[in-house]
Structure 1
Amino acid sequence: MFFRQNIFLVAFVLISSAFFSSVTTSAPLSYYLPENHSYTAELLKPSAFIGSEIGEQHLRHDQLVGYLSHLASQSNRIKLTEMGKTYQQRTQLLLTISSPENLANLDTILADRDKKSYRAGNDPVVVWLGYSVHGDEISGAHAALIVAYHLAASQDKSIEQMLKETIIVIEPSINPDGMDRFANWANTFKGMTANPDPNHIEHHQHWPSGRTNHFWFDLNRDWLLLSQQESQNRLKYFHQYQPNVLGDFHEMGANGTYFFQPGIPSRTHPLTPKENTKLTQDLAKFHAKALDANERLYYSEESFDDFYYGKGSTYPDVNGSVGILFEQASSRGQQQDTVNGLLTFEYGIKNHVLTSLSTIKGTWVERNVLRKYRQSFYQDVEELAKKEKIRGYIVYESKDLYRLNAFLDKLDQHQIDVFPLASDFRLNSKLYAQQNSFFIPLNQPQFRLIQAIFSTQKNFEDNTFYDVSGWTIPLAMNIEFAAVNRAWGLKLAEQAWQPKAKQKQEFTGGAYAYAIEWQHFLAPKLLNELISQGVKVKVANKAFSSIVKGNKKDFKPGTLVVLAGTQNTDEWRVLLEQASNKNQIPSYALTTGLTINGIDLGSSSFRPIEPRKVLMLGGNSVSQYEAGEVRYYLDNQLSIPVSIVEPQRFMQIDLADYTHIVLVNGQYGSMPEKVTDKLSHWVKNGGTVIAQKKAVGYLVKHNILNAKVASKQQLDTLFDTDGLRYQDKEKLAGRKRIAGAIFATELDLSHPLAYGYDRSILPMFRNSTIIIDSPAEPFVAVAKYLPDPLLSGYTDQNLVNRIAHNAAIVAHNLGKGRVIATSENLAFRGYWYGSAKILANAIFFDKAFSVTTKE
């Protein structure tokens, strides 16, 4: 009996152990903190403030801010700064941690770090730690809380000494909106008993994921582009602190271990100094030592790259800092079974704590080397600039001051000096008019960053890319630019360009009509504001000339006209004046309907523009990035609301309410047949569908778009594989891929979808191998690739040749409706102002053209 009872007891214990091993557990604060440190009892521990141990649940952003704000209020080692607000009005927080003496003199210390006059001395070295730029990579934000407590509360003498010589800047959550989206998801599906099953819904977010911000942008691609306000808010503080080292803390797939840079050596941008890589390697020894001591698995130098300067770990490299990427295998919830065993949330948090502290320690130990590196980075500029064949770049844009000023403002945010011309300048037979031309000299502290922004390099030591290989910002914004190889005849203003306040437009009341030119970037916004408020607006499909203030004024096709005699509201003049001033677009008063050239104002060639209502297909099969980019352009920049509907709700929607449906890149192969039939029927009855990238193939397959798209098999035949060995597999895959490059297209400027463009050459961004063959029928192609189309970035010559001469944008009728398709990403990452206007034209001028095709 005793034996049987003991057997039962042992069995119960074994079963209980197996069961309770997966019960949700949490680690005490001591699990994360270094050993042999004593901590002041005056500062509240995180668990006492939050009500749970770190890692027990996924903290919301308000909990993170609440504790760190409390900690800062109680510690003389912390200065709390609010950098700004996200789109959803969450606070972007910055903690500066150092000795009380350094914090008291912080403004002076930072002023002495000025790029132009910096001299390496005994000033404090600065290390910036940025966490969870991808909101669902949330272990970093939790690690930030622990690191802040450790630095504020530790009584260890080594910490006190280090703080006297170091300034630590902590950005605890780079993406607060995405953080909360993921925290709410993980906490919603977290059970009382932990479920490590990788198939559990806790580990699989719905669309859009917490990775992105409010507009579904990847903020880790926005440091250079600055399309999102979170990035703009941060950047001014980055340049204020000018860190010596920046740690960028991420998560990767669950079956990984832990990664820290350097990455693959051959995939570093050539503008990054070699010493930067050496310093990264030196600091890596500190990370390895910390992880070794805790018996943690890790690796480096065999993944990721250091090429694209728009990421948190690479932007510092072109700004005198050393950027370091850290990647922790992600539990994407509380626990997850992996090839390396059970991965817990606490385990990932601790890894980031370990490497955060190793980054701080390594920066402190190597402070003299890092100071000298930063000094030489900027002081070598003058000699490096003298060796270049060019003196700088001239930029020019006369028709759209919004686009020009937006470009100059980006340069200003990057602390690049831009000088207006003091007189006209002739270069290579082209005259650059003083009032619309600006010069960016290479010889200034941001020498390397200028080169990166204007670079049109096409081949590199290693042509395999983790991210884009070409991002030339003036090409993206369709700003004309040229390299200047001489200073002779170039006269510049003494003061660098500065953003100007809005100016009130002169508005003439009582006119017969008002004309608004379409080349302005915000003209679609102005148009939508007017028609949404009941103002009647027409578009000119042919050119005309009128007298404006006693002088002849030519108006191109695409010009908007507001006619006094067609309005139904007495407030229309007030609404027009307000919209003109708000968008800084002039409204030209016309005193008569009789023009001096071209069509008269009563001509049928002026077509009325009715209000638009846009629907976009969303959901798990659709790219959240491209959906976010289109939404950002239409909603944020043009104030055009976009209704997003998933395929499963599509059949319940009355499509008669919508004028346009947008299909961005996605997997449409599993789209139910009834959804496709409904879409086709809607187009044939007058709707307009706009498709890009993989959505093009979907429309072709179902006979909605009359076009031919190159198949994968056809593209594979472009590459000779004879003699290749297994070691060539990755290189071949890189050749077959277009990671991101810029191509030149030629627009048909007579086509309504090209209204507002003055130059026929339009740069377009391409990050796929989708190729639309040149249509056999006339008038279908709105834009075609040039014979030698590659402008910037790497693409294998076989693909370049296959793309050449083929179509970039096609459009035709389908029944009473229109189908508009492009192989490109028109609004890529929110900074492609040049091609984004095609989207606006497709929305407002879709019925201004008519092209029938043979089915």
Structure 2
Amino acid sequence: MLLIRIIILSITLLCSTKLIAMPVQDYLPTGSQFNSEISLPSNSLGFEIGQRHVRHDQLKNYFYQLAKDSERVSITSMGKTAQQREQLLVTISSAKNLANLSNILNDRDILSQKPSVKANQKTSLKKRQLDKQMAGNAPLVIWLGYSVHGDEISGANAAMIVAYYLAANTDEKMAELLANTVIVLEPSINPDGMDRFVNWVSTYRNSTDNSDTNHIEHHQDWVTGRTNHFWFDLNRDWLLLSQQESQHRLKYFHQYQPHVVGDFHEMGHNSSYFFQPGIQSRTHPLTPKRNVELTTTLATFHAAALDKQKRLYYSEENFDDFYYGKGSTYPDINGSIGILFEQASARGMQQETINGLLTLEFSIKNHVTTSLSTINGAWKNREQLKQYRSDFYQQSDKLAKKENFSGYLLHESKDHFRLNALLSKLAQHKINAYPLNADFEFKDKKYQKNNSYYIPLAQPQFRLIQALFNQQTDFKDNTFYDVSGWTMPLAMNIESTQINRTRGLKIANQAWTKPAEFSQNSKSSSAYGYIFEWHHFLAPKLLNNLLANNIKARVATKTFTSVINGKNKNFRTGSIVIPAGIQQNPDWQATLLAASNSTGIKLDSISTGLTMKGVDIGSSSLKPISKAKTLLLGGSGMSQYEAGEVRFYLDETLNIPLSIIDHAQLSRVDLSSYTHIILVDGNYQHVTEHTAKQLKKWVEQGGVIIGQKRAARWLAKQEILQARFVSKDQINQLFDNEGLSYQDKEGLASRKRIAGAIFQVELDISHPLAYGYQQTLLPMFRNSNLIMEHPKQPFVTLAQYTPAPLLSGYTDKNLVNRLAHNAAIIAHNVGKGRVIATTEVLAFRGYWHGSAKLLANSLFFSKAFSASYK
């Protein structure tokens, strides 16, 4: 009897500590029959879904097996991530539809056409009329995207179950649905982040399940699996397209042009389950009201499915549908219905919550349930969804005619890289931009044909054009979950002008396409030297390449005029001179030509060191440039996003090596081998007093330290930076609290923060750190209310806010007024070294080309200026 009791007790303890894994059928609706020849996920994985975390290679293998087993499943490789993991697109439909998929997609595509602009309206109208005629017979298209944040893993697991259900279900209703529907799954939107998270959880998972919220399994190190290889949030990149995963995906998104898009996420463990419509007042005004109505209709299907299982959920709180760069909002500006789903996260296998024990299996099942309710709801409302998509594009011409201008002119005369980068993004969004065939005058300004492009409003992507170019600053609801200003021409620092007349405007028949490779530079055996100008966005990349190959270069700190091909040419400060006589690398010319051609930068060959005007080539005003060896401080408390932005710009874009060192290890590092240290936004309370003293000594001995946002304020506290910051109390004093009730609390908090807006600064373009900039006014991005007061000391302010600085997005007028005239960037000497500080985000989300170059200038020209702070 005692032995029996011991056995029973052992079994009870085992059951209380080890969760029983659920077979795939337990995640699915009851009553369905399945084809036994279709592989179960467990057949491929070797374990049940939810029993352990699935790696991306295991997920990939299952989907390829499923495609092999089922004629309903087709796999497309969209591309590879930076870490060479495959981005999968899984299309599920009837065998007949899959065999005819290319024709199905071509018949419904009205965006990929690039007709002659002269025939654009007629052609697009005809195409849209055809689209409307075929809407009734064309298949419904549903796109389900999972785990864009790699550590929100329940989505990727749910994708395998949903795919199995659609591929193996033998019910007649399923056959009918798939005969008339194309379902697209993106099982893991962020493969690199997914595996980073799975490796963490697998490393720290105990043999016995542990639901303790403090267990290390639930708390990832720096950086987390949320981000991709470059530490970018891919759920903010649909509009910006800085990351290759987004570029790969968008190509197929516009091929399929789905009617409904499901975007599956996780949130805090003490939450329940969320699905949209969310807070309707926080929907972008460009999104049609019908979109919200249809989202609300589909919400009833999610509610019914979760009600059946007695699951907790909510639907009209939190989040918003304003920023169009997210997976649930980009579809809204492209004729689709985008829906956000958020599941409380176990961030491991299981975790104690206010709602009881939350397990991975529970989370997976919720996402499976709402995936199927999305399909069911879309199927039941298919005619309305098809009509909505057709109407969305049919309305484009009518909406364009209501505007008081006809389109936008883009102009950039110096840096074709930035201009082409913007045009490339527009093309990926299926927006047509037409080159000018002749110079055009508008409001007393001439737009040169070789540097200008026209974007007519009257094209199918009318709403998206407005979303990218709009500079709205006044909003019905001022609470934002994400940024409120993202105007792309401002981010790229490209001149954009609304024009209200097209008389005299002569444009090419065909829209912009990617230009041919540049290879214009050639060797000159008699060259005294070469010069290239600094206004090109990739000039820092070329310079770094030269310095890495021991090619000596000089930067002009004063202007000069030289004879180039028999004509006088003026060279501005910042021009880079490579004198032949001081080179020691025997292959320097070949290296220079290859590097300049690869970056698309034109070289000017000079035959003499004697200039026509200004300083000569041998002048001490042409200062030597040294190779930068740069350290980026990382670790717990530091913003992985801003660190990723710096890393992406310097390492990936400019190929400048960047050493990333955890601040906890810094005391063991010999800093004397580094020329620059970059500190991004973060909580610097983690940095020890010893490390702070070490940094200060290093700067005083000749190092250059660059601080962004809270890092700048920390440098001031360490008396490295001479600057004063507006305190939290001073910010609070800007706002009147009288007469407010408790319900006003959230609104007041939103007024005190800057979620993300665009401001204008005045740049001192005579300063070496501003070399390459042609105009004094520069748009900059800000997402904090940290304000740096304008120093009284002359020559230390590189950029300051204009009197009315807000350009795009929401910021309370009290904060706008407090920002006006204050400093955005300051720089000064510290002993033999330099400190450079900013309250802005210089390389925001990888697309903010306008101010990113200030970061490169800080590496190469930090010793070209001297500004003492007395």
TM-score scaled by length of structure 2: 0.97
Tell me, yes or no, if structure 1 residue 743 matches structure 2 residue 759. Answer: yes
Q: Structure 1 residue runs of 4+, over 4 Å off?
A: 8-16
Q: Determine the structure 1 residue equivalent to 2:121.
A: none
Native 8 Å contact 1:24 1:192 kept in 2: no
Question: Aligned match of 1:633 in 649, 663, 673?
Answer: 649
Deviation at 1:503, TM superposition (A): 2.5
Q: Determine the structure 2 residue equivalent to 1:842.
A: 858
Gaps of 5+ in 1: none
Equivalent residue letter for 1:264: I
Native 8 Å contact 1:335 1:344 kept in 2: yes
Question: What is the aligned length?
Answer: 849
Tell me, yes or no, if structure 1 residue 395 matches structure 2 residue 410. Answer: yes
Deviations 1:557-589 (A, max 9, x none): 000000000001110000000011110101100
Q: Determine the structure 1 residue equivalent to 2:44.
A: 49
Native 8 Å contact 1:738 1:768 kept in 2: yes
Q: Determine the structure 2 residue equivalent to 1:526.
A: 542
Deviation at 1:807, TM superposition (A): 0.4
Deviations 1:202-223 (A, max 9, x none): 0000010000000000000000
Question: How many Å separate the matches in 1 of 2:369 and 2:230?
Answer: 33
Question: How many Å separate the matches in 2 of 1:620 and 1:222?
Answer: 24
Native 8 Å contact 2:518 2:598 kept in 1: no
Question: How many Å separate the matches in 1 of 2:821 and 2:4?
Answer: 79
Deviation at 1:15, TM superposition (A): 7.6
Equivalent residue letter for 1:391: S
Question: How many Å separate the matches in 2 of 1:180 and 1:15?
Answer: 35
1:361-760 correspondence runs (5 A)? 361-510=376-525, 511-760=527-776
Deviation at 1:493, TM superposition (A): 1.0
Deviation at 1:17, TM superposition (A): 2.7
Native 8 Å contact 1:505 1:580 kept in 2: no
Question: Aligned match of 1:258 in 260, 264, 273?
Answer: 273
Question: How many Å separate the matches in 2 of 1:696 and 1:825?
Answer: 12
Deviations 1:342-372 (A, max 9, x none): 0000000010000001111111111100010
* CA root-mean-square deviation: 1.1
Question: How many Å separate the matches in 2 of 1:243 and 1:845?
Answer: 49
Deviation at 1:12, TM superposition (A): 7.6
Native 8 Å contact 1:243 1:321 kept in 2: yes
Q: Determine the structure 1 residue equivalent to 2:810.
A: 794
1:271-350 correspondence runs (5 A)? 271-350=286-365
Equivalent residue letter for 2:85: R
Deviations 1:751-783 (A, max 9, x none): 000000001100000000111100010001000
Q: Determine the structure 1 residue equivalent to 2:115.
A: none
Question: How many Å separate the matches in 2 of 1:369 and 1:569?
Answer: 69
Q: What secondary structure sits across from 1:238 in the alignment?
A: helix
Deviations 1:211-246 (A, max 9, x none): 000000000000000000000000010000000000
Question: Aligned match of 1:83 in 78, 85, 98?
Answer: 78
Native 8 Å contact 1:267 1:307 kept in 2: yes
1:103-122 correspondence runs (5 A)? 103-115=98-110, 116=124, 117=127, 118-119=131-132, 120-122=135-137
Tell me, yes or no, if structure 1 residue 214 matches structure 2 residue 229. Answer: yes
Native 8 Å contact 2:81 2:244 kept in 1: yes
Question: How many Å separate the matches in 1 of 2:839 and 2:713?
Answer: 9
Deviations 1:618-677 (A, max 9, x none): 011100000000000000000001111111110110101100000000000231100000
Equivalent residue letter for 1:88: Q
Question: How many Å separate the matches in 2 of 1:383 and 1:682?
Answer: 63
Q: Determine the structure 2 residue equivalent to 1:137.
A: 152
Deviations 1:139-183 (A, max 9, x none): 000000111111111111111110011100000000000000001
Question: How many Å separate the matches in 1 of 2:720 and 2:12?
Answer: 60
Native 8 Å contact 1:24 1:193 kept in 2: no
Deviation at 1:22, TM superposition (A): 2.1
1:760-779 correspondence runs (5 A)? 760-779=776-795
Equivalent residue letter for 1:378: Y
Deviation at 1:46, TM superposition (A): 0.8
Question: How many Å separate the matches in 2 of 1:503 and 1:181?
Answer: 38
Question: How many Å separate the matches in 1 of 2:688 and 2:381?
Answer: 60
Question: How many Å separate the matches in 1 of 2:4 and 2:472?
Answer: 72
Question: How many Å separate the matches in 2 of 1:10 and 1:812?
Answer: 78
Deviations 1:602-629 (A, max 9, x none): 0000111111100010011100000000
Question: How many Å separate the matches in 2 of 1:190 and 1:506?
Answer: 58
Deviates more, 1:69-78 or 1:835-844: 69-78
Equivalent residue letter for 1:830: G
Native 8 Å contact 2:523 2:589 kept in 1: no
Question: How many Å separate the matches in 2 of 1:430 and 1:761?
Answer: 18
Deviates more, 1:115-124 or 1:151-160: 115-124
Tell me, yes or no, if structure 1 residue 93 matches structure 2 residue 88. Answer: yes
Gaps of 5+ in 2: 111-123
Tell me, yes or no, if structure 1 residue 17 matches structure 2 residue 12. Answer: yes
Question: How many Å separate the matches in 1 of 2:6 and 2:804?
Answer: 75
Q: What secondary structure sits across from 1:846 in the alignment?
A: coil
Q: Determine the structure 2 residue equivalent to 1:355.
A: 370
Native 8 Å contact 1:744 1:763 kept in 2: yes
Deviation at 1:13, TM superposition (A): 4.6
Question: How many Å separate the matches in 1 of 2:585 and 2:435?
Answer: 44
Deviation at 1:14, TM superposition (A): 6.0
